[in-house]
Amino acid sequence: MKKLPRSFYSRSAPHVAKDLLGKILVRRIGHTTLSGKIVEVEAYLGKKDPASHAYRGKTRRNEVMFGEGGHLYVYFTYGMHFCANVVTGKKDVGEAVLIRAIEPLDGIELMKRKRGFTDVRHLQGARHLNKLTNGPAKLCEAFGIKQQENGTDLRGDELFVIEGESPKSPIGTSTRIGITRGKEKKWRFFLKGNEWVSR
């Protein structure tokens, strides 16, 4: 499994965001490997972007965003959910790409348990699997990504991104979801027609 090089992440967030579509997020937990194809992302451009956590500069909460590209920035939101972002650009820039949705590939049974789908009636058949990781908080729960993963180097061995197949679906763009500022920017990218896209 060839991990993406550091140079992949050292570009601006919108470029990295588009190129992350179709790539595979991999998480190793004990002897189990979880993986999924990235199908939806959003770019956030640091101090140039009022919707970004980095807009007002570096804080204790967002300091990982100002590090070297290729690390994971994890934040807690609404007092109950975690969201995972790939840090992009050069050091001190503060850009990142939110991973919004993933199509699960490996370790689906463990993902179900982590999401609380212990009763088979909750998630029967492929047509219901899109509920497993079709949102940023859902995929973090399924992959066991929490605050302790904040700052993880994506060039490491426990949580990383590898090359996948080139997307066969056309790439859609839209404004970002759930923000109040910078709403006009079309920095949300997704694989059109994919069942795991959040909306």
User: Considering the domain 6-191 in this protein, what is its CATH number?
Assistant: 3.10.300.10
The answer to whether 53 and 66 are in contact (CB under 8 A) is no
Residue 127 pLDDT > 60: no
- What integer best gives the mean pLDDT of the chain? 92
More confident residue, 125 or 128: 128
| pLDDT tens profile 72-82 | 999 998 778 99
Burial 63-76 (b: 16+ CB within 10 A, else e): ebbbbbbbbbbbbe
DSSP strand pairing (32-45 vs 95-106)? antiparallel
Least confident of 47-56, 111-120, 142-151: 111-120
| pLDDT tens profile 148-173 | 999 999 999 999 999 998 888 899 99
More confident residue, 118 or 151: 151
pTM tops 0.85:
yes
